[in-house]
Amino acid sequence: MASDAPFRTIIEPFRIHSVEPLRLTTPEQRRAALDGVGYNLFSIHAQDVLIDLLTDSGTGAMSRDQWAAIQHGDESYAGSPSWFVFRDAVQHLFPFRHVIPTHQGRAAERILFEVVGGPGQVVPNNTHFDTTRANVEATGAEALDLLIPEGRDPSADHPFKGNLDVGALERLLTDRASDVPLVMVTVTNNSGGGQPVSLANLREVRAVCDAFGKPLFLDACRFAENAWFIREREPGQSGRDVIDIVRDMAGLADGMTMSAKKDPMGNIGGWLAMNDDALAEQARNLLILTEGFPTYGGLAGRDLEALAQGLREVVDHDYLRYRIRSTAYLGDALVARGVPVVTPIGGHAVYLDARALLPHIDPLRYPGQSLAVALYEVGGVRGCEIGTVMFGRRPDGVEAPAAMDLVRLAIPRRTYTQSHIDYVIEVCERVAARAGELPGYRITDQPAALRHFTARFEPLT
Ligand SMILES: Cc1ncc(COP(=O)(O)O)c(C=O)c1O
């Protein structure tokens, strides 16, 4: 009699409906491309990349039903039916009173911090993402990371390494309550390894916020992946519907920022949501100034429709099981081959520990940059340095090593197959085998803020 036990192989819960060709390049072509752009992978032409793991942001494949939803897009300037479809889909998961659409996450951040930020203010978070930090700092405020110590240790074993350090938050608020306009928690913690935050931690953060009368905002780009980890790992949560866990997360917060290019499965989009009427009014006024009328933000009606459908799809358990398992497939294979990675494996990406793999390169010589360049040169795989290039320059211009030097291999949703990932594993293995030969880098040119996007580098020979 055949067994009904589940199979080990977690298959993609979809089949391919439309394909995009990939372009193969030679190592010589890739070396020339690197040289031509000052070794900055953001400046490489995407058609010169074979497997693009630079980001999971807006790079996923939309479903048949999302493309169909696009046909329902209504482009009325004000009060479009597509707006109400979008708003209802957001509020189904995140029942905040006000939903303010934006063209992407950083627009929501800019509006929020323009209203609540400013010189002398300090905004705590588990770890600010680069655009969040930059938008806080652009107002003259301080962006403070208060991650639990385990979250800063690439190999520490903890089920919720994205948790915020509640004791540190309490100390901050005891000392400087009047300087803190709100508390943020990023789910999952992108800059800290894609690690989840537990419901218990959110409850503790909420209690501290209540004690000091502070609002709590979620940076909720990867809310569904976070909820799946809660279901898998948090005592008492297994067997629950992810939708209910997401609503619990939202219920502990007063508002949120969102990049809809992640879990909402869009190629563009975002929103800012909140319960506070006065804050919402100020935010809408700023929205009208630069993004658009409050029923479309910076988005077309067709984008709003695609996002509403994406929000329905991302909370599907079969999808989330596949998503988290397929990311772990890459991470587990690298661990088995002795390549140092952040563990446990996060939700949307595998983070290579460049500082551990390249101990001969001082953090101020950018080991993450060196590793990311080598992955591209050897196999046409594009990852993203998340380390001293991204975070090492303070607002006063002084350079200091970031907490970790990582290379993020972010996996676009529903886009690459297992054989693509098997190829990535082989490329990482080959680069790791000659890690001792990789050079450090020096920056030859850089902008004042968000330097990783446009800085130019030179290998140190
Ligand atoms: C945690 C987090 N917050 C904010 C953002 C910014 O979103 P966007 O790129 O849509 O501006 C990102 C994007 O990668 C992110 O990962």
Give me Rg for the CA atoms of the chain.
21
Which of the four pLDDT bands, split at 50, 70 and 90, describes residue 208?
very high
pLDDT at residue number 8: 86
129 pocket-lining for ligand 1 (C-beta < 6 Å): yes
Cα 234–chain centre separation? 22
When pLDDT is averaged across residues 177-194 and rounded to a whole number, the result is 94
pLDDT higher than threshold 80 for residue 363? yes
Task: Give distance in angstroms: CA of 119 to centre of ligand 1.
Answer: 23
pTM for the predicted model, two decimal places: 0.94
pLDDT at residue number 192: 81
User: Ligand 1: which atom is nearest the Cα of residue 269?
Assistant: 10
Distance separating alpha carbons of residues 52 and 448, to the nearest angstrom: 27
User: Ligand 1: which atom is nearest the Cα of residue 222?
Assistant: 1
Closest CA to 435 of 380, 343, 365, 360: 360
Antiparallel, parallel or unpaired: β 216-219 and 255-259: parallel
Q: What is the pLDDT of residues 3-39, one digit of tens each?
A: 899 888 888 999 999 999 999 999 999 999 999 999 9
Task: Give distance in angstroms: CA of 433 to centre of ligand 1.
Answer: 33
pLDDT higher than threshold 90 for residue 270? yes
CA torsion 245-205-411-144 (nearest 10°) is: 160
CA torsion 60-286-220-400 (nearest 10°) is: 90
Q: What is the mean pLDDT of the chain?
A: 96
pLDDT higher than threshold 70 for residue 132? yes
pLDDT higher than threshold 90 for residue 114? yes
56 pocket-lining for ligand 1 (C-beta < 6 Å): no
pLDDT at residue number 323: 97
186 pocket-lining for ligand 1 (C-beta < 6 Å): yes
pLDDT higher than threshold 90 for residue 70? yes
Q: Compute how many other C-beta atoms are within 10 angstroms of the C-beta atom of residue 210.
A: 10
When pLDDT is averaged across residues 331-353 and rounded to a whole number, the result is 96
Closest CA to 191 of 251, 130, 107, 269: 130
Antiparallel, parallel or unpaired: β 216-219 and 456-459: unpaired
When pLDDT is averaged across residues 229-258 and rounded to a whole number, the result is 98
pLDDT at residue number 394: 83
pLDDT higher than threshold 70 for residue 1? no
Encoded amino acid at 180, one letter? V
Q: What is the pLDDT of residues 395-420, one digit of tens each?
A: 788 999 998 899 999 999 999 999 99
pLDDT at residue number 183: 98
Distance separating alpha carbons of residues 419 and 396, to the nearest angstrom: 46
